């Protein structure tokens, strides 16, 4: 009912507006004196000290959260991380042993593909940890350890606030594992990251305040678009995939996400005059070189007539001469930028679907929780 939507036009509009809270609530009670403290993992250090490999398994949007997590987990823990779609996992005889930690990610905790992969991993001796948004769901019950996301109930079929909560939980897990394994003995690096993380909810709120109307206007103009491409690099790459998935799910538009560096190896053939391309521009503070490469990708597609919509941090003027539109995100620790860059893409997909008169909460053919394999 309208009351449940709290005055919003859809559950999705409400849930996107709750993205700052989803992050803040997932952090709540898990940070103390600049350290990450995850009470659910108390006394479980052994789970992390003996790990030589992490495999993240999930489906859909949750798998993209996993891809973001890979960058942070490897950087902080130095443990190799693979991310796999749950349904691709178990029929290929994966290498699993007691030194493997399988981290599953699921909003519902009931996705059958993910559940079966967790059970399979466990039977073959791997350790399992579940990141889940639903208390007492099946996947956490089948796992050795649980880290709950606290996004609150998500009603719209396509996942939004749960996604930012999942990424947040992965950051917390990464910092936790790193500390257990003796990283940053002084603790200063950890507390710097923690401070940066705690600043994220306010920055998401700022994007919602400052950019929402402009993005809605843009979506309105683009209501007849038949195809949209998304480019990203490093942690922006999974966000490009998520931006494309949301547009398919909500607006039934053909959309594809690419790693920006892959452009010249194929996708650039798709660029023709008028083709809209979203580009998630990495912070020059992450790597001046990487930033420059993405800007030159923008130049290349622009030269072929693409209509470029850049998502770039405040103050990044290098993109201005080549972008048709620039959507701004506040400055943040580069590893945490996915939590910001995804917000305009969620708003865009929702607004475009709305402009087409579609039901954003209940897209055709989709189910919130897929409990069949
Ligand atoms: C369905 C939903 C997606 C979701 C995926 C995984 O396909 O439509 O929005 O990302 O399931 O769901 P889970 O509950 O496991 O996160």
> Would the CA dihedral through 350, 316, 281, 105 be positive or negative?
negative
* Residue with token string 């309208």: 2
Local confidence band at 6 (pLDDT 50, 70, 90 cut-offs): confident
The predicted model gives 248-272 an average pLDDT of 95
91 or 150, which is more confident? 150
The predicted model gives 187-193 an average pLDDT of 85
Closest CA to 246 of 23, 26, 64: 64
Residue whose CA is at the smallest distance from ligand 1 atom 4: 60
Local confidence band at 184 (pLDDT 50, 70, 90 cut-offs): low
**pLDDT score, position 1:** 58
Residues with C-beta less than 6 Å from any ligand 1 atom = 59-62, 106-108, 111, 114, 157-159, 366, 368-370
Q: Is the pLDDT of residue 372 over 90?
A: no
What's the gap in Å between 370 CA and the centre of ligand 1?
Answer: 7
Per the CB < 8 A criterion, the answer to whether 126 and 143 are in contact is no
Residue whose CA is at the smallest distance from ligand 1 atom 5: 60
Residue whose CA is at the smallest distance from ligand 1 atom 2: 368
Q: Is the pLDDT of residue 182 over 90?
A: no
Local confidence band at 2 (pLDDT 50, 70, 90 cut-offs): low
**pLDDT score, position 3:** 61
Q: What's the whole-number average pLDDT of the chain?
A: 95
The predicted model gives 171-176 an average pLDDT of 97
Closest CA to 131 of 121, 139, 120, 122: 139
Q: Which of 59, 114, 143, 367 to mutate to test the pocket of ligand 1 (most atoms within 8 A of CB)?
A: 59
What's the gap in Å between 110 CA and the centre of ligand 1?
Answer: 9
Residues designated as active site:
368
Instruction: Record the pTM.
Output: 0.97
């Amino acid at each position: 009912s309208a009351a449940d939507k709290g005055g919003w036009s859809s559950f999705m509009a409400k849930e996107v507006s709750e993205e700052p809270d989803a992050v803040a609530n997932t952090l709540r009670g898990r940070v103390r004196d600049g350290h990450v403290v995850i009470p659910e993992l108390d006394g479980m250090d052994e789970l992390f000290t003996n790990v030589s490999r992490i495999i993240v398994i999930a489906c859909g949007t949750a798998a993209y959260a996993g891809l973001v997590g890979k960058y942070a987990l490897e950087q902080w823990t130095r443990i190799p991380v693979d991310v796999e779609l749950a349904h691709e996992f178990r029929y290929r005889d994966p290498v699993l042993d007691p030194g493997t930690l399988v981290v599953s990610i699921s909003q519902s905790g009931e996705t059958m593909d993910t559940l079966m992969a967790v059970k399979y991993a466990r039977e073959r001796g791997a350790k399992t940890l579940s990141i889940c948004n639903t208390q007492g769901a099946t996947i956490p019950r089948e796992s050795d350890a649980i880290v709950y996301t606290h996004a609150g109930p998500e009603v719209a079929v396509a996942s939004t606030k749960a996604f930012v909560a999942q990424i947040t939980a992965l950051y917390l897990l990464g910092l936790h594992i790193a500390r257990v394994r003796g990283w940053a003995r002084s603790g200063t690096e950890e507390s710097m990251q923690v401070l940066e993380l705690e600043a994220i909810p306010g920055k998401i709120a700022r994007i919602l305040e400052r950019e929402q109307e402009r993005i809605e206007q843009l979506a309105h103009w683009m209501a007849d678009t038949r195809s949209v491409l998304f480019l990203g690099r490093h942690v922006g790459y999974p966000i490009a995939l998520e931006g494309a998935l949301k547009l398919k799910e909500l607006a039934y538009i053909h959309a594809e996400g690419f790693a920006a560096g892959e452009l010249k190896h194929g996708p650039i053939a798709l660029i023709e005059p008028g083709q809209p391309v979203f580009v998630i521009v990495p912070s020059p503070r992450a790597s001046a070189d990487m930033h420059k490469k993405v800007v030159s990708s923008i130049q290349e597609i622009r030269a072929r007539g693409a209509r470029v919509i850049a998502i770039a941090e405040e103050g990044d003027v290098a993109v201005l001469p080549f972008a048709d539109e620039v959507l701004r995100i506040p400055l943040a620790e580069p590893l945490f930028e996915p939590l910001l860059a995804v917000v305009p893409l969620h708003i865009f997909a929702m607004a475009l679907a709305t402009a087409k008169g579609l039901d954003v909460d209940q897209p055709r053919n989709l189910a919130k929780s897929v409990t069949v394999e």
